[in-house]
Amino acid sequence: IEILSWDWALHVGMAPDSVPQEQRHQGGLIYSRGLDINGRIVTPDALKGKTARFWISPVAPDIIFGPEGLPHVGQLHPRDEGGGPDLEATLFLPKDALPGVLTCLASAWKYLHIWTREPPPTTAGITDFAFSRHDT
């Protein structure tokens, strides 16, 4: 995916009643930070030219992946509605990697590569992702 734009976004809001008390800040706030990336698919040919939006969430070291935890590093979803990107995804990034990722996005990286369990355009678990300066 060719990266067209990105932002280091912050969302702050009032916590709904369904959010556990220990996940609220200052009694009733929730907030999330993440990378919001917009891009255009360059491969595979069947999806070439379609648009994609990725939300990359930093995760704490206590989040477990694998058989006893999360089965993938993200999830890709096709969108049927008009007016937005053709595909949307959420990716998880170790919190410790965030400073380097932000620096490289600002200076060198131009492509986001993803690998999925199922071929798009179905909802797919993302097994791997990487950034690079080049499309191959």
Span 22-44, pLDDT tens digits? 888 888 898 888 999 999 999 88
- pTM exceeds cut of 0.75: yes
Q: What is the pLDDT of residues 59-113, one digit of tens each?
A: 988 889 998 899 999 999 888 777 789 999 999 999 999 999 999 999 999 999 9
Q: Is the pLDDT of residue 47 over 90?
A: no
| Pairing mode, strands 87-94 and 124-132 | unpaired
Q: Is the pLDDT of residue 120 over 90?
A: no
* The predicted structure's pLDDT at residue 104: 95
DSSP characters over 63-91: --BSTTSBSSSEEEEE--SSSS-SEEEEE
Measured CA to CA, the distance from residue 19 to residue 14 in angstroms comes to 10
* pLDDT tier, 126 (very low <50, low <70, confident <90, very high otherwise): very high
C-alpha atoms less than 13 angstroms from C-alpha of 87 in its C-beta half-sphere: 24
